[in-house]
Each structure stands twice: as C-alpha cells, then as structure tokens.
C-alpha cells in the first residue's frame, strides 16, 4: 500500500513539474515558472496542488480567448545566422558585380557613339 501511495505522490510531482515547464509563460499566474518549480520541488504535495488550482490559467473550449498571443519567434542558431549573413554578402557582391558590368557597358556604348 505504501508503494502505491508513493508512486501516486511521485506521479503527481513529476506531472506538476512537466506541466510547469511545458506551459506557455503567458498562462502562468502569480509566480514565474522558476518560482513554481522551486515551490513544487521544496513543498511537493502542497506546491503541486497549488500549481494545479492556482498556477496555470485555464482556457475552456466554449469560452473564446479575448486576446490572442503571437507565436514566439524561433531563435536562430549560430549556423543559421552565419548562413543568412553569407547569403546576404553573396547577394550584395552580385549586385556590385552587376553595377560594375553595367558601368562598363555604358562606357563601351559611350565610346562607340563617339
């Protein structure tokens, strides 16, 4: 019997921690996520119960949400940033080459007309 109670207790603790960590920041109420994690870690049963009843804003399907939160922008990794910079450099180099060739063409047309 003690094993069953311990497993239920552990399941509630793990479920609360996973729910806190995976919740969107705008749905967390009264404390920041770190505060809720610390509360659940140091006071597991009380912290978990408080989280489930007070910590997360619940949205019910039949009630429309008044304000839509924009989807957070995904942070670019360093490789993606470097690749984007390389593409931009290549684009500007091609533009400079086009301008140089156009200038040469204008100069040759000017010589041919004279």
CA distance 39 to 50: 9
pLDDT at 91: 95
Mean of per-residue pLDDT scores for the chain: 83
pTM of the full structure:
0.48
Strands (E), 1-114: none
Hey, which residues does 78 pair with through a beta bridge? Answer: none
* CA gap 53, 19 in Å, rounded: 13
> Tens digit of pLDDT for each residue in 3-59?
888 888 889 889 888 988 888 877 788 888 888 888 888 988 888 888 888 887 766
Question: Residue 40: exposed, middle, or buried by beta-carbon count in 10 A (0-12, 13-18, 19+)?
Answer: buried
Structure confidence by residue, pLDDT tens digits, 54-85: 887 766 555 555 566 666 666 667 888 888 88
pLDDT exceeds cutoff 70 at 107: yes
């Amino acid at each position: 019997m003690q094993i069953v109670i311990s497993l239920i207790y552990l399941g509630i603790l793990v479920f609360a921690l996973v729910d806190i960590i995976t919740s969107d920041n705008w749905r967390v109420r009264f404390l920041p996520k770190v505060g809720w994690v610390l509360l659940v870690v140091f006071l597991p049963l009380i912290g978990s119960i408080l989280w489930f009843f007070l910590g997360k804003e619940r949205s019910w399907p039949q009630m429309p949400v008044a304000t839509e939160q924009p989807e957070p922008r995904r942070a670019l990794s360093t490789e993606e940033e470097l690749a984007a910079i390389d593409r931009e450099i290549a684009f500007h180099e091609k533009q400079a080459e086009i301008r140089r060739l156009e200038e040469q063409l204008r100069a040759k047309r000017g010589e041919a007309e004279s």
